[in-house]
Amino acid sequence: MEWVVAAVVLLLGLYLSWTANRLDRLHWRVDASRAVLDAQLLRRSGAALDLASGGLLDPASAVLIADAASRARIVDESGREQAESDLTEALGAALADPAYTASLRSQEGATAALDELAAAFRRAGHARRFYNDTVRAARRLRRKVLVRWLGLAGRAPWPETVELDDEVPRGLEA
């Protein structure tokens, strides 16, 4: 009978150790995917700044995009999602018409700038979805009863998803 109790304690210990390691790996993935997301958002705002400063757009659109891209690059963490959504909105307004975007492509250097911006949009969208999936997985595991009762998450902060508008403007869709 004692060996049954010992076996149950051993199995419970192995399960708890496995769960704690899994949670730790998930937290590492959340941190790594957040760094990738931040890098992709910076690339997107950089591509938007390149487009705005390239002399390809009308002056009003260029100023709006440059302002939104600059704010997205320097804003603190609490306002990041709104600033990134504002950049998407500014780009969406300027590049909403596929015919206008096609006419821009006839200018020298425009195709490369527009393609880079479109690629940056797609990469940022993929990075955000991957990050949010990783956050949801970590949250699911942290909600389990044993994880909560035994404090297996330690002092790690509760992971939050990133919700922002990252829809590719119609004029950039290919």
pLDDT at 67: 96
Domain of residue 95: give its range: 2-172
- 10-residue mean pLDDT profile of the chain (174 residues): values are 88 89 94 97 96 91 95 92 95 90 88 94 96 96 89 86 90 76
Q: Within 10 Å of residue 9's Cβ, how many Cβ atoms? A: 10
- Rg of the chain's alpha carbons, rounded to an integer? 23
160/148 Cα distance (integer angstroms): 17
The whole-number pLDDT of residue 174 equals 60
pLDDT of residue 157: 87
User: What gap in Å lies between CA 109 and CA 87, rounded to an integer?
Assistant: 22
How many domains does the chain contain in total? Answer: 1
Q: Using a cut of 0.85, tell me whether the model's pTM lies above it.
A: yes
